[in-house]
């Protein structure tokens, strides 16, 4: 799973076994189409021809945050946990927040810029911390098992980290103020991966520890150039030719790489490149899931709108200036997380399966797991954080704008009888 941020810059256990036979089949649908068109000498086009307004049937958009602050750098894992940075009211610092099953927690309490959070399915989070707004000396931090650790402490600029479920971490390191090289952190050991005279950044990894990134040449004339790169099975590929300015970076477990350029959203695998229909130079992203779903944004001259490609259909999730998209992520169970709002007041939104009252887990039953979610929702104000609006959507059963003992009494009447 991969996400994208800053467009103007560049319970799962119960369903997990189902994915074993579906992942490659889903990817194969895209790649078979690419191969047929390519062999016929035609422009390879991926899925997503028809555009439908709104989320897919059975899915809805709900709000995780709702306040005047800027929420950005959002990422999500496959168990519904969401990490993001919140610009604090004084505008001089950003803090890391974690949303988990109805509970919103602030993880950092400092006077720094904590940005670029990424989260794996174990709930481990990595990010970089700047000492001042847009400062240069950034370090990498990790949150694991309730503990925050500083992984780097040097004069270099360490930034834009990613992490796998096996706890391997990669990021960019700028030692000289000009170029940046990729490094890998494994079991406490940092190893330099690239060694060239350009800026290597935006690294994204898959479960096989393959990775994709962007190599920027900021010394090129008359303007900078970039190249989409990947390393698959320890073999490095220059996917684009370095003559233009491709942006964005994503990679799936099957080695499908995504980016955008002046031609729209592109996909590459095994030497074959495909174009996503209906995308142009105004598209940004993409984020890719391991079940062949694609998230991207498109600029209409006024605001950014989010689009999700599922098979032959593209869904325009919103079409409103008040829901201007700032970034997003997609996971392997079809959920999408978005930064949207009237900039700079961006909030976190989640597209998930439509819930019925009381069924927070969305499994068709109202049981102890939903009760745990209700307790999480109730705990937010006691912990000094805002109750996520999505909690009210599901548990404000008397529709009076809060969750209290009357809602709890109503919840008890909805509990699914034991079989």
**Rounded mean pLDDT, 312-339:** 95
| pLDDT beyond 60 at 2 | no
| CB-based contact 269:239 (threshold 8 Å) | no
**Rounded mean pLDDT, 11-30:** 37
| pLDDT beyond 80 at 398 | yes
Edge to edge, what strands does the sheet with 181-186 contain?
157-163, 169-174, 181-186, 189-192
Q: What is the pLDDT of residue 47?
A: 55
| pLDDT beyond 80 at 29 | no
| pLDDT beyond 70 at 6 | no
386 pLDDT band, cuts 50/70/90, is confident
199 pLDDT band, cuts 50/70/90, is very high
Residues 364-382: tens digit of each pLDDT? 999 999 999 999 998 887 7
Tell me how far apart the alpha carbons of residues 396 and 380 are, in angstroms, rounded to a whole number.
15
Taking the CB of residue 263, how many other CB atoms lie within 10 A of it?
Answer: 16
Higher pLDDT, 240 or 404: 240
| CB-based contact 211:256 (threshold 8 Å) | no
**Rounded mean pLDDT, 203-221:** 96
Cα-based distances in Å from 229 to 185, 215, 226, 266: 20, 7, 9, 13
Largest CA distance in the chain: 71
Taking the CB of residue 202, how many other CB atoms lie within 10 A of it?
Answer: 25
Taking the CB of residue 47, how many other CB atoms lie within 10 A of it?
Answer: 22
Of 293, 202, 297, the residue nearest 8 (C-alpha): 297
| CB-based contact 338:324 (threshold 8 Å) | no
343 pLDDT band, cuts 50/70/90, is confident
Structural element, H or E, at residue 59: strand 59-63
Q: What are phi and psi of 157, to 5 degrees?
A: -100, 110
Q: What is the pLDDT of residue 5?
A: 53
| pLDDT beyond 80 at 136 | no
| pLDDT beyond 50 at 19 | no
| pLDDT beyond 60 at 284 | yes
Q: What is the pLDDT of residue 176?
A: 80
Mean of per-residue pLDDT scores for the chain: 87
Tell me how far apart the alpha carbons of residues 131 and 152 are, in angstroms, rounded to a whole number.
13
| pLDDT beyond 50 at 34 | no
Name the most confidently modeled range: 13-22, 83-92, 217-226.
Answer: 217-226
Q: What is the pLDDT of residue 240?
A: 97
Please, what are the domains in the chain?
A: 3-353 (2.130.10.10), 368-414 (no CATH)
Q: What is the pLDDT of residue 111?
A: 82
Q: What is the pLDDT of residue 42?
A: 32
């Amino acid at each position: 799973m991969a996400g994208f941020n800053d467009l103007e810059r560049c319970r799962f256990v119960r369903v997990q076994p189902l994915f074993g036979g579906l992942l490659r089949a889903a990817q194969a649908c895209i790649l078979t189409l690419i191969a047929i068109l390519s062999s016929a000498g035609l422009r390879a086009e991926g899925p997503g021809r028809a555009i439908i307004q709104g989320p897919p049937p059975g899915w809805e958009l709900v709000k995780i945050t709702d306040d005047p602050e800027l929420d950005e750098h959002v990422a999500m894992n496959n168990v519904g946990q969401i990490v993001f940075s919140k610009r604090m009211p004084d505008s001089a610092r950003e803090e890391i927040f974690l949303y988990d099953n109805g509970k919103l927690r602030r993880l950092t309490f400092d006077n720094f810029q904590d940005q670029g959070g990424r989260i794996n399915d174990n709930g481990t989070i990595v990010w970089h911390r700047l000492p001042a707004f847009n400062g240069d000396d950034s370090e990498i931090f990790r949150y694991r098992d309730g503990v925050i650790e500083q992984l780097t402490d040097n004069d270099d600029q360490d930034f834009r980290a990613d992490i796998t479920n096996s706890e391997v971490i990669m990021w960019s390191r700028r030692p000289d103020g000009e170029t940046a090289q990729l490094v890998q952190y494994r079991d406490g050991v940092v190893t330099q991966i690239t060694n060239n005279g350009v800026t290597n950044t935006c690294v994204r990894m898959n479960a096989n520890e393959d990775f994709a990134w962007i190599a920027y040449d900021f010394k090129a004339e008359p303007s900078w150039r970039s190249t989409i790169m990947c390393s698959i099975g320890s073999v490095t590929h220059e996917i684009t030719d370095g003559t233009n300015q491709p942006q964005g970076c994503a990679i799936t477990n099957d080695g499908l790489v995504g980016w955008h350029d002046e031609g729209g959203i592109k996909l590459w695998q095994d030497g074959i490149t495909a174009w996503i229909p209906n995308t142009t130079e105004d598209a940004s992203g993409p984020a890719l899931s391991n079940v062949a779903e694609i998230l991207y944004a498109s600029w209409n001259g006024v605001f950014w709108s989010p689009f999700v490609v599922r098979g032959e259909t593209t869904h325009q999730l919103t079409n409103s200036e008040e829901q201007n998209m700032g970034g997003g992520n997609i996971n392997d169970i079809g959920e999408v997380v978005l930064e949207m709002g009237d900039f700079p007041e961006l909030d976190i939104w989640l597209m998930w399966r439509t819930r019925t009252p009381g069924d927070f887990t969305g499994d068709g039953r109202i049981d102890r797991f939903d009760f745990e979610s209700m307790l999480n929702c109730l705990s937010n104000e006691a912990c000094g954080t805002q109750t996520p609006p999505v909690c009210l959507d599901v548990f404000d059963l008397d529709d009076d704008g809060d969750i209290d003992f009357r809602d709890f009494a109503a919840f008890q009447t909805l509990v699914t009888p034991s079989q």
